[in-house]
């Protein structure tokens, strides 16, 4: 990564935009997950992103400008069966990106979290990994979703070329968003989760507030 960044800087003089796009999926119920596969998944989806970001930040900081686009997923906001470890990597990208933007926005560097739904890429096809271990008790849940996920390959409803243009439009906007949902499914499912979270939070508000120390009574 450091070599690639150095070559790009030598060829073009500077790096204005970093797109952290490398990533892949892994199908397994949480109990079925294999340690080596899970660690390799995090190496690519999380630590690869971190290392590349750290390699370009010195130049962006010195110029007080730059854009960092971190490819997350609808799966960075919502979790489904059979892709728990993939979600864990994307939830990590979301949190890291929120912290990063707090640190670099005052330096003139923009961070964007891109959250696509099911685009017609190799994600559910050739690049997908899955555990060799299967447990019968998870067949109706994780097992069913393994099958349905693989069956989407080549039939995903979202267009990568249109997504690329949407990202360009967002990056070049006067006020780029921190999060960019891509695809109708991403918008519908993400907003449904927002509604669900609010219902749950509001329903348990009194319990949440009860965990604070009582307010001290002022002396009479």
In-domain check, residue 215 = no
In-domain check, residue 210 = no
In-domain check, residue 3 = no
Question: Is residue 210 annotated as part of the catalytic site, yes or no?
Answer: no
* For the chain, percent of residues with pLDDT exceeding 70: 98
Set 26, 73, 85, 90: catalytic member? 90
Q: Give the pLDDT confidence of 94-152 residue by residue, as tens digits.
A: 999 999 999 999 999 999 999 999 889 888 889 999 999 999 999 999 999 999 999 89
Whichever domain contains 31, its CATH number is 3.40.50.720
* Pure H helices in the chain: 2-12, 35-42, 49-63, 84-104, 144-151, 160-171, 184-203, 205-209
Set 26, 73, 85, 86: catalytic member? 86
In-domain check, residue 161 = yes
Question: Is residue 138 annotated as part of the catalytic site, yes or no?
Answer: no
Lowest mean pLDDT among 5-19, 113-127, 187-201: 113-127
In-domain check, residue 219 = no
* DSSP, residue by residue, 107-147: GTEEEEEEEE-SBSSSTTTTT-EE-S---GGGIIIIIHHHH
Q: What global pTM score does this model have?
A: 0.93
In-domain check, residue 1 = no
Tokens of 127: 């690049």
| 218 has a pLDDT exceeding 70 | no
Tell me how far CA of residue 202 lies from CA of 89, 132, 207, in angstroms: 28, 42, 10
- Total count of domains within the chain: 1
Write down the pLDDT at residue 217: 65
Question: Is residue 90 annotated as part of the catalytic site, yes or no?
Answer: yes
Tokens of 210: 């009860």
In-domain check, residue 30 = yes
Q: Which domain range does residue 22 map to? A: 11-200
In-domain check, residue 216 = no
Q: Is residue 205 left, alpha or beta, with left meaning phi > 0 and alpha meaning psi from -120 to 50? A: alpha
């Amino acid at each position: 990564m450091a070599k690639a960044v150095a070559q790009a800087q030598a060829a073009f003089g500077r790096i204005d935009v970093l797109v952290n796009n490398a990533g892949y999926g892994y199908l397994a119920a949480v109990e079925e997950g294999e340690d080596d596969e899970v660690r390799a998944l995090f190496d690519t989806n999380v630590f690869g992103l971190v290392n590349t970001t750290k390699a370009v930040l010195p130049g962006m900081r010195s110029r007080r400008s730059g854009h960092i686009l971190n490819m997350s997923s609808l799966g960075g906001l919502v979790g489904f069966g059979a892709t728990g470890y993939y979600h864990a990597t994307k939830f990590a990208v979301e949190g890291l990106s929120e912290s990063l933007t707090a640190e670099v926005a005052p330096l003139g560097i923009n961070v964007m979290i891109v959250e696509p739904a099911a685009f017609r890429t190799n994600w559910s096809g050739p690049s997908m990994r899955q555990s060799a271990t299967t447990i019968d008790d998870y067949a109706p849940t994780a097992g069913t979703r393994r099958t349905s996920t693989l069956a989407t390959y080549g039939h995903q409803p979202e267009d990568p070329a249109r997504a690329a243009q949407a990202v360009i439009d967002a990056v070049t906007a006067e006020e780029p968003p921190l999060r960019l949902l891509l695809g109708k499914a991403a918008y519908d499912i993400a907003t449904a989760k927002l509604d669900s979270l609010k219902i749950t939070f509001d329903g348990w508000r009194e319990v949440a507030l009860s965990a604070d120390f009582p307010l001290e009574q002022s002396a009479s």
